[in-house]
Amino acid sequence: MLTRQRGSSLLEVIVAASLGLLVILAVQQTWAWQMGQQLGHSDSTKAFLTAQSLLEQLTQDIADADPDAVNLAGSCYLLPQYDGRQLAYRVKNKQVQRHTLAPYCPTTGWQSLSHYHSVAIKSLTLQLFKSQGLPTLSIALMAKSPRDNSFHAFNREVVLDAAR
């Protein structure tokens, strides 16, 4: 005697649960892959923003430099300020470093403005020239994201106030 069965058999329930679990795992793997891709891009973005912030800090310091006393020759850039500070900048160990009491390029006392784990500085170049009769300092910064090979180049010009 056969009776009509209502509902699903145990085997059908197990198969349906297994298929549902496979779908959930596939969605989870796709989501994890997307997060990994986004994190890879965020390192490059973080390096870009760090280098941009570093350039802004350099620009603010350089804006108060005495153009008649600036010395861009040698192993560091000497930028005496109108307020008496003796600023110097250099790139060492993939970091921009600043010295606040530097009438010359000393070997000790430097503070890093960047860290190579967040951005690796390839080069920093400063050039002094006249633009429309005004002393202008050109800043060129080449930075690299430490986790990939994306380079970021920044150029900025700062007109120095010669009338102090």
pLDDT digits (tens, 9 = 90+) for 94-146: 999 999 887 888 889 999 998 878 889 999 999 999 988 899 999 999 998 87
Query: Is 1 within the bounds of a domain?
Result: no
Helix residue ranges per DSSP H, 3-85 = 10-62
5 three-state secondary structure: coil
Residue 55's domain comprises 11-159
Kindly report, residue by residue over 2-39, the tens digit of the pLDDT: 666 676 788 888 888 899 988 998 888 888 888 777 66
Query: Is 3 within the bounds of a domain?
Result: no
Query: Is 2 within the bounds of a domain?
Result: no
**130 bridge partner residues:** 135
Quick check: 148 pLDDT over 80? no
**DSSP string computed for 69-105:** T-B--SSSEEEEBTTS-EEEEEEETTEEEEESB-SS-
Residue 154 and residue 55 in contact, taking contact as beta carbons nearer than 8 Å: yes
14 three-state secondary structure: helix
- The count of domains in the chain is 1
| Cα 159 from Cα 55, distance rounded (Å) | 15
Please state, for a pLDDT cut of 70, what percent of the chain lies above it: 91
Reading the block at residue 22, the tokens are 């496979």
Query: Is 164 within the bounds of a domain?
Result: no
Query: Is 134 within the bounds of a domain?
Result: yes
CA dist 52 → 6, 94, 141 (Å): 68, 16, 9
| Cα 36 from Cα 33, distance rounded (Å) | 5
Query: Is 47 within the bounds of a domain?
Result: yes
Query: Is 4 within the bounds of a domain?
Result: no
Kindly report, residue by residue over 51-87, the tens digit of the pLDDT: 889 999 999 888 888 999 999 988 899 999 988 889 9
Query: Is 54 within the bounds of a domain?
Result: yes
CA dist 163 → 9, 68, 77, 93, 135 (Å): 92, 11, 22, 37, 10
